[in-house]
Structure 1
Amino acid sequence: MLLRTLTAGLLCTLLLAGCERQKDEAFEGQVRAYLLAHPEVLQEAAVKLRQKRALAAAGALKRAQARLERDPRDLVANPDGGVTVVQFFDYRDTYCRAVAPEVLKLIAENPDVRFVFKEHPVFGSASDAAAKAALTPQGKAKGLELYRSLMSLKTLTDARLDTAIRAAGLNPQEVREAMGDRAITQQIADTRALAAEIQVKGTPTFVVGGQMIQGADVDQLREAIKRAKSMSYQALADAPAMSTLPAAPR
């Protein structure tokens, strides 16, 4: 009797599973037929997905804004600028080297724009060494000179790193001694974590005005700077005028 009951239960379960599978297949067929008849739905869904991702990216950038723009450990050009451009870069990256002269040109052309340099070595130990050299007190003191010198190298080796350090007017031995500071290693680790958080896909990557620009697209970068400046000036224009206080009684 027990065996008969178990067998009946098993058969019912299998029959129900078969019905559910048939329902799933029927539903999938209906969905497929609808999409084939209305392909514009897929396009609408793709647009919505892009919008959703864009909103998520904008939210991540906003949450990370202080760490992106105001980390006191970073090298900053034009520190008093009202608009900020952040660059994630690697000295061994071909595209970073190609765009470096344009970055220096933008810095010279836009004294009202802050340029924040995020050392983001992704191409191995030689990249790590160059980033650490640039983050030493000596390297930061030379700032753009060392950046220009390192970016001018077609290949990066220990010997060539020393050559670039000398070309910037620094003593390689002193710089290498300073490179061992754990605070520098921590800064690079923090930058890598930040890059992962905001989904930096590679180098160079720029962030300006809440917009991320992946790659060495100088035209897009210029447009983003122009737009950010316009928004900044508009915000100043829209700010309430300072009220005039009455004169103190004598």
Structure 2
Amino acid sequence: MRPLTLTMTATALALLTALPAAADRSDAEIKALVLEAIRENPEIVMEAVGLIQAEEAEAAAAAAQAALDDGRGALEADPNAPVLGNPDGDVTVVEFFDYNCPYCRRAGDEVKQVLALDEDVRVVMREWPILGEASVFAARAALAAREQDAYDRMHEALMSAPGRLDEDSVMRIAAELELDTDRLRSDMEGEAVQAHIDQSMRLAQSLGFSGTPSFVIGDQTAPGLVEAAQMLDMIDAVRDGG
């Protein structure tokens, strides 16, 4: 989005230069008219800014919808993405998250409530480590735990761990879960792990997400924390064809 001051000036300038009388004026005269217009009619400029922002929001929403339509398979049926809940559920929730994001930890509790209340929901987990190298390490460890049939347990342990995760705490958790930590470190470098993270980055960018947590439910995108009641409403809307 354009900076507000630049948008105001550009809008006022566009309005002035559109007038026939402005065509024969010098740049200095036009700039003076712009400043005068801003001083005398700030509400007009702000209305124009609002229109531009609305157009940009509409364009972003259209781009996100196109990304949803084009990437539905990658979002909901990626065989390289872990699934929680009912793998054969009739509604899919896609969650983008980072283990070091406190809001993701709260979102995880909301998702657990949803799964406890609705047995026909499947949740596709998109590891999206955007909060530094420690987050990348945690995501790699969780994805690698799949090779030991321990993703669910590792995910839950990482999400419920106190404080910020780092390499030492992640490996300590893996040891407490009785995973083969040497194998885990080796599997963390696997192609499937990197492919999942890369895919998450591409999908999040195409959907216009800028932070975690972020959700996709049917044709609805929901950046930010979504409480269980709201998520259930969105799930019902998918079932109702909305």
Give me the TM-score of the superposition, normalised by structure 2. 0.75
Query: How far 1:63 sits from its partner (Å)?
Result: 1.7
Aligned to 2:235: 228
Matched, 1:104 2:133: no
**Alpha-carbon offset, residue 53 of structure 1:** 2.7
Shift of the 147–79 alpha-carbon distance from structure 1 to 2, 3 Å rule, reads same
Which residue, 54, 64, 70 being the options, matches 1:57? 64
- CA contact under 8 A between 2:110 and 2:226: conserved in structure 1? no
Q: Equivalents in 2 of 1:130, 1:22: separation in Å?
A: 58
What's the CA shift for 1:22?
7.2
Give the SS at the match of 1:73.
coil
Query: Aligned runs of 1:16-95 on 2, under 5 Å?
Result: 19=25, 21=27, 24=30, 28=34, 36=43, 43=50, 46-77=53-84, 78-95=86-103
Inter-partner Cα distance in structure 1 for 2:207 and 2:115: 24
The unaligned stretches of length 5 or more in structure 2 are: 1-22
Contact 1:133 1:139 in 2 (8 A): no
Closer/same/farther in 2, CA of residues 197 and 102 from structure 1, 3 Å limit: same
Q: Secondary structure at the match of 2:203?
A: helix
CA 199–66 in structure 1, closer or farther in 2 if over 3 Å, else same: same
Instruction: Give the percent of matched residue pairs that are identical in Structure 1 and Structure 2.
Output: 29
Q: Verify: 1:150 aligned to 2:194, yes or no.
A: no
Judged with a 3 Å threshold, the aligned counterparts in structure 2 of structure 1 residues 214 and 156 are, in CA distance, closer, same or farther, namely: same
Select which of 195, 200, 215 maps to 1:186: 195
Q: Secondary structure at 2:149's aligned position in 1? A: helix
Partner residue, 1:4: none
SS of equivalent to 1:207: strand
Question: What is residue 13 of structure 2 aligned with on the other side?
Answer: none
1:136 aligns to what SS in structure 2? helix
> 1:40 deviation in Å?
5.5
State the distance in 1 between where 2:177 and 2:29 align: 72
Q: Which has the larger radius of gyration?
A: 1
| Deviation at residue 76 of structure 1 after TM alignment | 0.5
Relative to 1, partners in 2 of residues 1:92 and 1:22: Cα closer, same or farther, differing over 3 Å?
closer
Query: Is the Cα–Cα contact under 8 Å of residues 138 and 166 in structure 2 kept in the other structure?
Result: no
Confirm whether residue 175 of structure 1 aligns to residue 179 of structure 2: no
**Structure 1 stretches lacking a partner, 5+ long:** 1-16, 236-250
Change over 3 Å in CA distance of 1:38–1:142 after alignment to 2: closer
Which among 122, 147, 153 is matched to residue 130 of structure 2?
A: 122
> 1:165–1:172: 8 Å Cα contact kept in structure 2?
yes
Deviation at 1:50, TM superposition (A): 2.9
RMSD: 3.0
Shift of residue 115 of structure 1?
A: 0.2
Residue 200 (1) aligns with residue 195 (2): no
* 2:114–2:231 contact (8 Å) kept in structure 1: no
Structure 2 partner of 1:133: 141
Structure 2 counterpart of 1:95, one-letter code: Y
Aligned-residue offset at 1:166 = 3.1
Please tell me the residue identity of whatever aligns with 1:175.
L
Instruction: Work out the CA distance in 2 between the residues paired with 1:156 and 1:139.
Output: 21
* 2:20 alignment counterpart: none
- 1:165 deviation in Å? 1.5
